[in-house]
Amino acid sequence: MTQVQVRVTDKMIETLDEWVDEGKFKSRSDAIRSVLKHYEEREKTREFYKMLQERSEEAEENPEELIPLE
């Protein structure tokens, strides 16, 4: 793994420490990695939803091109 230095507010550190104290994460680093992974997954979901919306609009505009799921 690569180590990076990040500046965060005191409140963010307090929150990270609370999560660690509560046993939600093993360490600050673990918490930060998990938050970043969650954000990455959310962005993938957002992109997938956007693609579904675009495909839905295409289907409404061109219903003759739909292929039944049967």
Domain boundaries, the chain: 10-59
Cβ neighbours of residue 19 under 8 Å, at least 6 residues apart? Answer: 25, 31
**Does the structure show a pLDDT above 70 at 70?**
no
Instruction: Work out the average pLDDT over 56-69.
Output: 75
**Does the structure show a pLDDT above 90 at 60?**
no
Of 43, 18, 42, which Cα lies nearest the Cα of 31?
18
22: which DSSP letter?
T
Token reading at 3: 């180590």
Residue 67 · residue 55 · CB < 8 Å: no
pLDDT digit string (tens) for 40-57? Answer: 999 999 999 998 888 888
pLDDT digit string (tens) for 9-40? Answer: 999 999 999 999 999 999 999 999 999 999 99
Q: What count of residues does the chain have?
A: 70
pTM of the model: 0.71
